[in-house]
Amino acid sequence: MTIAIPDHILAIQPYVPGKPIEELEREYGLTGSIKLASNENPLGPSPRAVAALRRAVGHLHRYPDGGGHDLLAAIGTHLGVSPARIVMGNGSDDIIALLTRTLLGPGDEALIPRPSFLMYNIAVRSAGAQPVCVPLAGMAPDLEGMLAALTPRTRMVFICNPNNPTGGIVGREAWERFLGQLPPSVAVVLDEAYIEFARDPACPRGVDYLAEEGPAVITLRTFSKLYGLAGLRVGYGVMPTALAEALNRVRAPFNVNSLGQVAAAAALQDTEFVARTLRTVHEGLEYLYDALGRMGLRCHPTQTNFFLLELGRDAQTVFEKLLRRGVIVRSMRSYGFPQCIRITVGQPEENRRFVDSLAEVLAEG
Ligand SMILES: Cc1ncc(COP(=O)(O)O)c(C=O)c1O
């Protein structure tokens, strides 16, 4: 049998996720490893979400609510937007794919910051369209550079704010200037996967830019990070109603399973867990910046639950030596930072273990 795989699919570099703990322990014969590699919530899932899951398991013989009524209502109340503007996804990854499938086709271009979240590239290519990468300005997306890269074929622009993997943000002033100059035919995807961790008051929120005139602003959010529900896969996009209707034509009817729907709605109410998570992350950052600074290392500023650490030596080697000590972080070699690793803030004992292990690795030379 000969299957012809289209060239635009063969051009896709597969997404490489953070190494799962189980895989590391199998490969290296370790136990008690820690993972600070995928920007997950170190405290586990929201307890309110877990309680809701327990109540819901008895109904698993039923299909989910394909319209996600209760979840969309809860998100709408949380953000102060109409549920008609919200599309739910199997993670925000799903919304990225729905947007590119709905809006892009062969010959179209989408602007993507580089480096940034890898799924933008994969989704654009999957739709047969052309990703056009625009290097960051410093550690955040370069909005002037994006404007300069526009062509008559540009249909979509991705902005990750705060940006993964660098942790930097686009400020409100630059964002508003950018929106004012963008042709109304271009859709702006503002990925706010980490926005809840941002403390800089200059960080804009996409839901404040829902005007019907001008370019469509699509805000992406996820339950994978702040709410600790990465394994359940729930995310959403907030967008103009007409675009939400279009995405709902393309969306699989049961793309968010019934457990995901009830857990996400319950997590939104879990203000105690949210406060505890933010405290853990912000105190963890303080500890890590202080301890690593005292080791003579430079941490890049961040508005997220992760940060880039400059090692002044080959990051891949350090990454592999940390793996052998049961500590999983991310090497940034393939992201254009060959001397950086990305660390997700963990629980206090995990942060200490990382610092101690890194000190051992660096002392080895
Ligand atoms: C910037 C960014 N956007 C989107 C996602 C995807 O999140 P989800 O788990 O909701 O698919 C991630 C996950 O790491 C991310 O870093």
Average pLDDT over residues 2-17: 89
The pLDDT of residue 146 is: 98
Look at residue 17 in the predicted model and tell me its pLDDT. Answer: 81
Taking the centre of ligand 1 as the mean of its atom positions, its distance from the CA of residue 190, in whole angstroms, is 12
Give me the chain's average pLDDT, please.
Answer: 96
Q: How far apart are CA 179 and CA 147, in angstroms?
A: 10
Rounded CA-CA distance 240/247 in Å is 11
Is the C-beta atom of 91 inside 6 A of ligand 1?
yes
Q: What is the pTM of this model?
A: 0.97
Tell me, in angstroms, the distance from the centre of ligand 1 to residue 94's CA: 10
By DSSP bridging, strand 298-299 and strand 109-114 are: unpaired
SS3 annotation, the chain? CCCCCCHHHHCCCCCCCCCCHHHHHHHHCCCCCEECCCCCCCCCCCHHHHHHHHHHHHHCCCCCCCCCHHHHHHHHHHHCCCHHHEEEECCHHHHHHHHHHHHCCCCCEEEEEECCCCHHHHHHHHCCCEEEEEECECCECCHHHHHHHCCCCEEEEEEECCCCCCCCCCCHHHHHHHHHHCCCCCEEEEECCCHHHCCCCCCCCHHHCCCCCCCCEEEEEECCCCCCCCCCCCEEEECCHHHHHHHHHHCCCCCCCHHHHHHHHHHHCCHHHHHHHHHHHHHHHHHHHHHHHHCCCEECCCCCCEEEEECCCCHHHHHHHHHHCCEECEECHHHCCCCEEEEECCCHHHHHHHHHHHHHHHHHC
Residue 100: pLDDT band by 50, 70, 90 thresholds?
very high
CA of 222 to the centre of ligand 1 (A): 7
Q: Is the pLDDT score of 353 beyond 90?
A: yes
Mean pLDDT confidence for 282-287: 98
Structural domains of the chain, with CATH: 7-45+272-364 (3.90.1150.10), 47-268 (3.40.640.10)
Q: Is 222 in the pocket of ligand 1 (CB under 6 A)?
A: yes
Q: How confident is the model at residue 15 (pLDDT cuts 50, 70, 90)?
A: confident
Spatial contact of 135 and 112, defined as CB atoms under 8 Å apart: no
pLDDT at position 244: 98
Residue whose pair of structure tokens reads 């839901």 in the numeric block = 207
What is the sign of the dihedral through the CA atoms of 285, 291, 294 and 295?
Answer: negative
pLDDT at position 86 over 80: yes
Atom of ligand 1 nearest to the CA of 224: 9
Return the pLDDT at 59.
Answer: 95
Give the pLDDT mean for 258-274: 98
Question: Which residue, by CA, sits nearest to atom 2 of ligand 1?
Answer: 193
Model pLDDT for residues 46-81, shown as the tens digit of each residue: 999 999 999 999 999 999 999 999 999 999 999 999
pLDDT given for residue 365 in this prediction: 78
Q: What percent of the chain has pLDDT over 70?
A: 100
| pLDDT at res. 245 | 98
Residue 19 or residue 192, greater confidence: 192
Indicate the pLDDT class of residue 19, thresholds 50, 70 and 90: confident
Q: Which of 6-20, 63-77, 314-328 has the lowest mean pLDDT?
A: 6-20
Least confident segment among 14-23, 119-128, 217-226: 14-23
Q: Band the pLDDT of 18: cuts 50, 70, 90.
A: confident
Alpha-carbon span 82 to 87, nearest angstrom = 11
Give mean pLDDT, residues 192-210.
97
Task: Output b/e per residue, 227-260; b: 16+ Cβ within 10 A.
Answer: bbbbebbbbbbbbbeebbebbbeebeeebbbbbb
Average pLDDT (279-307) is 98
Substitution site in 95, 118, 163, 164 for ligand 1 pocket (most atoms within 8 Å of beta carbon): 164
CA distance 234 to 211: 26
CA of residue 93 to ligand 1 center, whole Å: 6
| Listed residue (38, 116, 140, 45) closest to 344, CA to CA | 38
